[in-house]
Structure 1
Amino acid sequence: MSNFIYSLDKAMKEIMKNPSNSSSHLDQLPVCIIGAGSSGVTAAKSLKEKGVAFECFEIGSNIGGMWRYENDNGLSSAYRSLHIDTSRNNLGYSDYPIPDHYPDFLSHFEVLDYLEEYAEHFGVRPHIRFNSRVDKVEQESDGNWRVTLASGESKRFRAVIVANGHLWDPRWADFKGDFEGEQTHSHHYRTADPFKGKNVLVVGIGNSAVDVAVDLCKSAASTLLSTRRSAWIMPKYIMGIPTDRWSTLFSRRLRLPTRVSRTLVRWLAFMVTGDQARFGVPRPKHAVWREHATLSQELLPFCGHGWIRVKPNIKVLDGTHVIFEDGSREPVDVIIHATGYRASFPFLDRTVFEVADGQVELYRRMVAPSRPGLYMLGLVQPIGPTIPLVEIQARWLASVLAGDTVLPGEREMKNEIRAHQAEISRRYVGSARYTLEVDYRSYAKQLFGDIANGRAAA
């Protein structure tokens, strides 16, 4: 009832402001938002501000998504020691800055506090239906969408915004041979306690892999980190200043290209930490701007202390041991796969939408051209902060759904998608891994330009 009253109240206010628009809200179905994490709450806030009627469904009992440690929705990948890699000044939503009393790098507890404050400040929470799992989303013959909940309830919407996140469905590595020990995924890692006194192998060298290795290495009997291509390791601080603020200085204030700004930051980091190869972490063959760097203040010192040893890719699993591509053989009790996630949407049939074979068919990384009314929010992996970028996406979507920004035709949208995919293939190492990649600055500029022009570019 509260959602209906909210929608009707907004529609009446719009009529009073501009009677000529009286049919724009009253004769349309509402919009469905799936998920109430950092993407879903900003989508709700943006639609509310535009007077667009909506309902938001959250599978868990509260907001926060992955940032709610041990979330009862069963989908959070947060471990106890998790801290975000974007510093406070660059992390928050544009119209609700993170207060200065928070540290430079927030823990997941503090990110959740901030999200709750944001939702409360903008009156979002009353419009979210908790403990409401979406089981099926189908497009009907008239172009509208039917959303069916686990309870059996079924409702029609004019559009669906999918904001359920893409860091919850673990992707596992597949190796030859047999392993007699335990295997788990970083998605299930919480604390170092279960691994005390054990020989642990962490597969991967992304942020989660390094965080897990650093967290458990002091209490484990031994800690190995296996990587195929290695990665550029960047400290979280350079000369006492968070590293991403140096990036902001170069890219936003000095307006240097992303390639140049990231290369400059890499050289600054070299002056602080020296050659990472000296610590046993091989230097990648690719340039720093061709792949995501890994941020860690502890990895190189911990390697220097001998608490973590970096190994090449796994060649074969050999019972209680693992043989690596350099021919070395190590005893291992537990393998932790920190090998990323699949972008999964269990409520959508694969014929409707899927991310497969390193390809994603989304105009402006949000719009499914052949499925009008289906929008994917937060399905991006940016160079730069995610939360403020998703806020810009949400404002763009709200502008489209309010009729203030017009989309191009399907053909033009598909041309834009192909151009983006070609750029990803040219720019990034192993481009399939970077299917969801966007450059924060250029992407944000596109979206703001569309909103300002009232028409999305082809």
Structure 2
Amino acid sequence: MTIRVAVIGAGAAGLCALRHLTTRQPTFQAVCFEQNSRVGGTWIYTDQTGVDDHGLPIHSSMYKNLRTNLPKEVMAFPDFPFRKDLPSFVRHEDMLDYLESYADRFDLLKYIKLSTTVDLVHPQKHTDKVEWQITYKTLTDPDVIPVTETFDAVMVCNGHYSVPMIPSVPGLDLFRGKVTHSHDYRYPSEFEGQRVACLGAAASGQDISVDVSSAAKHVLNSL
């Protein structure tokens, strides 16, 4: 019996899932759907913010000077180490290169539908099992009619960093300065000579505070 599996997203989790599914053929038959034109998920850097060329929300929160806050020795897949010449804390470009190399090494691209969005995942209940209807469409040709296929299982690997969480801050609507979320932060020159308050002191808050300080007049990092 062959089990058809839909993998949504070709970032780190999606590529790893696809690598293990495709080594267990013909038990599993996998298809991966990725809305970007390349693999890498959140590690695909772009200067764009807001929406992309297709009108879709920008997925990545990468900023220009970002380095990982975990060492490569911890982040690497067990059977695919990083290049030895790289430092422990790599740049986002190195992380993207690593994932693209992983996809090449295990010949995964042939299972991935790039520039393709999944519009609907719908369960179909039967007496003895549940099947999943996946409706998807290509972004390269907007006139193409969406396609619906049936799968036995779905692995959702689209990450959880693409939708910014913006808390309700009393008085924020009265603030006359610039308000931006870390999801839309790209480079420190945007804040040249300005006084900047970074709200939040977790990993991204601390890192962006340091990055912004290279250009800003004054930076306050607040919990």
What is the TM-score normalised by the length of structure 2?
0.87
Question: What is the percentage of aligned positions where both structures have the same residue?
Answer: 34
Equivalent residue, structure 1, for 2:152: 158
Q: Which amino acid aligns with 1:47?
A: L
Partner SS, residue 23 of structure 2: helix
In 1, the alpha carbon distance for the partners of 2:74 and 2:31 equals 30
Q: More helix by proportion, 1 or 2?
A: 1
Q: Return the offset for 1:194.
A: 1.1
Equivalent residue, structure 1, for 2:209: 213
Higher gyration radius (CA): 1
RMSD (Å) for aligned C-alpha atoms: 1.4
Equivalent residue, structure 2, for 1:149: 136
Does residue 163 of structure 2 align to residue 169 of structure 1? yes
In 1, the alpha carbon distance for the partners of 2:107 and 2:215 equals 45
Q: Return the offset for 1:99.
A: 2.0
In 2, the alpha carbon distance for the partners of 1:64 and 1:55 equals 16
In 2, the alpha carbon distance for the partners of 1:64 and 1:32 equals 18
Equivalent residue, structure 1, for 2:142: none
Does residue 96 of structure 2 align to residue 120 of structure 1? no
Q: Which amino acid aligns with 1:157?
A: F
Q: Return the offset for 1:88.
A: 2.1
Divergent runs of 4+, >6 A: none
Q: Which amino acid aligns with 1:68?
A: I
In 2, the alpha carbon distance for the partners of 1:98 and 1:222 equals 37
In 1, the alpha carbon distance for the partners of 2:193 and 2:86 equals 35
Count of residues paired in the alignment: 201
Matches within 5 A, 1:45-194: 45-51=19-25, 52-70=28-46, 74-142=58-126, 143-150=130-137, 151-177=145-171, 178-194=174-190
In 2, the alpha carbon distance for the partners of 1:146 and 1:169 equals 25
Does residue 8 of structure 2 align to residue 34 of structure 1? yes
Q: Return the offset for 1:118.
A: 0.7
Q: More strand by proportion, 1 or 2?
A: 2
Q: Return the offset for 1:202.
A: 0.6
In 2, the alpha carbon distance for the partners of 1:88 and 1:129 equals 28
Q: Which amino acid aligns with 1:55?
A: V
In 2, the alpha carbon distance for the partners of 1:64 and 1:204 equals 27
Partner SS, residue 22 of structure 2: helix
CA contact (8 A) 2:61 2:184 kept: yes
Per-residue CA distance 1:78-124 (angstroms, 9 max, x = gap): 00111111112222000111121111111100001111111100111
Q: Return the offset for 1:175.
A: 1.2
Where do 5+ consecutive residues of structure 1 fail to align? 1-23, 228-458
**Which structure has more RCO (C-alpha within 8 Å, separation ≥ 6)?**
2
Partner SS, residue 86 of structure 2: coil
Q: Return the offset for 1:222.
A: 1.2
Where do 5+ consecutive residues of structure 2 fail to align? 138-144
In 1, the alpha carbon distance for the partners of 2:148 and 2:116 equals 12
What is the TM-score normalised by the length of structure 1?
0.43
In 2, the alpha carbon distance for the partners of 1:122 and 1:103 equals 24
CA contact (8 A) 2:188 2:214 kept: no
In 2, the alpha carbon distance for the partners of 1:57 and 1:44 equals 11
Q: Which amino acid aligns with 2:80?
A: Y
Does residue 17 of structure 2 align to residue 43 of structure 1? yes
Q: Return the offset for 1:141.
A: 2.6
Partner SS, residue 144 of structure 1: strand
Q: Return the offset for 1:68.
A: 1.1
